[in-house]
Amino acid sequence: MTMYTQPMDQDLDSMMEGMDIPFEDDGTYFDPMEPPMMCGDGSATFVSSAASGAAQQLPHLEGGDKDKSVALFDHIVQHYHFVSDNKGRYYASRSGFKAVPVDSAEYNELLNSICVNELGMMMSSSTLTTVKDSLLPIIKTHSSPALVGIRSVYHNGVYYHRLNDTTVLQIAGGNFYSGVPADAGVYFAGSRTFQDQVMPDFDSPATALPELVKAVFNVDPEEMLRYLAHLCCFFMQHISVPLLVLNGGHGTAKSTAAKMIMDLVDPSTVDVTAMPKDEQGLTALLAGKYIVGLDNIGKLSRKESDKLCIACTGGYDPQRQYYTNADLLSVPLKCNIILNGIGTLVTRPDLAERSNVIYFNRLKKRMTDSQVWEQFNAKKPKLLGSIFNTIRLGLPMVSTVLEGYTDLPRMAEFSTYGAAFIKAMGLDPIQFVKDYTASCSAFVGDCAEMDDLYLLVKAFVTDRGGFYQEPAKTLLADLNN
C-alpha cells in the first residue's frame, strides 16, 4: 500500500525529520487541505447521475420551498459522497477523512450551514426533513463501504489516530507517518464534544512510559503492569477491552485519574459523568462516545451490568423506534469504559470477567486541582509520545508475543495486545498475563460469593459432603425442600 505524508505544523515537521518519508513518483505528497475524493471509483458522480430528476419529484412541496429543496438536493449529490460502516450506519463526506452520520444532529447542522453559507437561503425544518428523507434512498443505494472511527482506526496492519480536524497520525511498519491515503477507505466521524489532542513528543520512548505514569497516577505498584497495558489498549478501537474499574478509599484521586485517562485517550468537552437515570440514557451514552467515564458509582443494577457487558465486547441494544408501536431500532454499542467508586461496584460474575480492577493508594501529598492539572499537562506530550511509541513497537509483536501460551483469560484479545505493549516497554509480558488472569479470577470469585443463589447452592452441596450430581429439576426440588 502506498504511504502518503503531509506537512503539518512545525512540531510534527520536526518529529518527521530523519524519517524515511515516501513520496509519490512525481515527488508530490498527500496534502490534507486539498485531498482527493475518497471515492476514487467515481461513485460520487454516479450518485449525481442516478439522482438526476429525483429532486424535481420531491413530494408535498410547491413554489419557493420546492426551489430551495431542489437546490439543496442537487448540491448534496454533486458535492458529497456517502459511505457506510459495518454497523449499517451511513455518513456524508465532502473530502478528506471527515464524515458526518446522516442520522445525527451534526448532519442537520451541516445541511443548514450549506443552505445559509453556500446557497444563501433559509429553509424550514419541515422542508429540510423532506430533503433528508428523499436523499436517504440514494444514500443507501450508492454508499461505499468504509471503516469509520471516532478517534482511532486499525486497518490492514495500519493504525490511524485522529489528533485534530486536519491531522491524522499513521503508524505502519514500525514507523510514523501522517495523513490518510486516498484509497484507504478510512474516515473519522467527530461529535460536538470532540476536542483536539496536543501534539505528542515522539522523542519520548516506550521504555519511559512506566515512570511517566508513576509520576502522574496514584497506582499501587503491584497493579502497574495491568494499568499500563489497559492505558495503551484504550487506543485500540478495533479490539474488545475490559472495563477499567478504579477502586480505593476516599482521597485516592480516582475521579481525577479517570479524567486524565479520558483526556489522554479522547479529549472531550465532557469528561466523567454520573450514571444516567434510565436505560435509554445509558444506551445513548455508550453508543455515542469513544470512551465513557462513569463517576462515583454505587452498586450496579442487573440491567446496567448487562448493558455494560454488551458495550465492552460489542453488540446491539434493541430500542423501540420513535413514533412507532412495534418497530425496533438496533443501537450498536461498543466503547471503552471506566468505572470508579468506593467498595464493590461490580457484583455480577459476567461483568467481573470483563473487568480489570485497579486499586489506588491514599495520596501522600495533597495538591490543588490547578497544581494537579498543571503537572499533568506538562507531562502529557511525553505521555502521548511514549504511548504512541509503545503502539508503534508493540503492534508488530501482537501475533507472536504469546506464541505457545495457552492459559489466556476471558478477554484474550486484550491480554494479547496488552502483552505486546508491555514487552515494547521492556517489561515482562508473561507476568502481565499472569497478573491479569489472577486478578480476574479473584474478582469473579468475590462476585460469586455475593450472589445469594451461589451461597445457597454452596451450603447445600457442603451439607452433602461436598458432592452432588443430579438433574437441574431434582436440584430445584431438593433446594425447595
**Contacting residues for 127 by C-beta, under 8 A, at least 6 apart:** 61, 65, 68, 69
122 and 169 fall within a common domain: yes
Of 90 and 18, the one with more pLDDT: 90
The pTM (predicted TM-score) of the whole model is 0.80
What is the domain range of residue 388?
206-443
* Residue where a domain terminates, one of 192, 221, 243: 192
Q: Residues 253, 375: contact at Cβ < 8 Å?
A: no
The secondary structure element, H or E, covering residue 246 is strand 243-247
Asked if pLDDT for residue 45 goes beyond 50, the answer is no
185 and 289 fall within a common domain: no
Q: Please indicate, yes or no, if residue 299 is contained in any of the structural domains.
A: yes
261 and 120 fall within a common domain: no
Block residue for cell numbers 508493540: 394
272 and 355 fall within a common domain: yes
User: Percent of the chain scored above 70 by pLDDT?
Assistant: 82
Instruction: Give me the chain's average pLDDT, please.
Output: 82
Q: How many domains does the chain have?
A: 2
Q: Residue 463 burial by CB count (10 A; 0-12/13-18/19+): exposed, middle or buried?
A: exposed
Look at strands 315-320 and 328-333 and give their pairing: antiparallel
Q: Please indicate, yes or no, if residue 300 is contained in any of the structural domains.
A: yes
Q: Please indicate, yes or no, if residue 277 is contained in any of the structural domains.
A: yes
Which CATH number does the domain housing residue 272 bear?
3.40.50.300
**Would you state the pLDDT for residue 8?**
39
184 and 224 fall within a common domain: no
173 and 240 fall within a common domain: no
Asked if pLDDT for residue 262 goes beyond 80, the answer is yes
State how far the alpha carbon of 31 is from the alpha carbons of 4, 8, 166, 168, 386, in Å. 9, 9, 10, 12, 27
Residue-wise pLDDT for 46-66, tens only, equals 455 445 555 555 555 555 678
**Contacting residues for 472 by C-beta, under 8 A, at least 6 apart:** none
Beta strands in 132-200 (DSSP E): 144-145, 147-149, 152-155, 158-162, 168-172, 175-178, 186-189
Residue-wise pLDDT for 78-99, tens only, equals 899 999 998 889 999 988 899 9
State how far the alpha carbon of 136 is from the alpha carbons of 69, 103, 406, in Å. 14, 10, 48
Q: Please indicate, yes or no, if residue 28 is contained in any of the structural domains.
A: yes
Q: Please indicate, yes or no, if residue 200 is contained in any of the structural domains.
A: no
84 and 188 fall within a common domain: yes
343 and 223 fall within a common domain: yes
Helical H segments across 205-360, by residue range: 209-216, 224-233, 254-265, 279-287, 302-313, 349-352
**Would you state the pLDDT for residue 252?**
82
93 and 238 fall within a common domain: no
Q: Please indicate, yes or no, if residue 35 is contained in any of the structural domains.
A: yes
226 and 365 fall within a common domain: yes
* Residue where a domain terminates, one of 168, 192, 216: 192
* Residue where a domain terminates, one of 159, 192, 225: 192
Q: Please indicate, yes or no, if residue 480 is contained in any of the structural domains.
A: no
User: Which of these, 206, 214, 132, 211, lies nearest to 176 by C-alpha position?
Assistant: 206
437 and 331 fall within a common domain: yes
248 and 292 fall within a common domain: yes
Q: Please indicate, yes or no, if residue 276 is contained in any of the structural domains.
A: yes
Q: Residues 43, 220: contact at Cβ < 8 Å?
A: no
